[in-house]
Amino acid sequence: MINQSKKNILINLTAISIILLMIISILMFKNYLKKISEIEKTENASAPYLLPEIDIQKYDQIKKILHE
Q: Is the pLDDT of residue 34 over 70?
A: yes
Q: Which pLDDT value is given to residue 4? A: 85
- pLDDT of 63 reads 79
DSSP code for 68: -
**Domain range holding 6?**
2-67
Report the percentage of the chain scoring pLDDT > 70: 74
Read off the pTM.
0.52
Nearest 5 degrees, angle CA 26-CA 32-CA 34?
Answer: 105
pLDDT of 43 higher than 70:
no
Please enumerate in sequence order all residues whose Cβ is within 8 A of that of 59, keeping only pairs 6 or more positions apart, or say none.
45, 48, 51
How many domains are contained in the chain? Answer: 1
- C-alpha 48/C-alpha 52 separation (Å) is 7
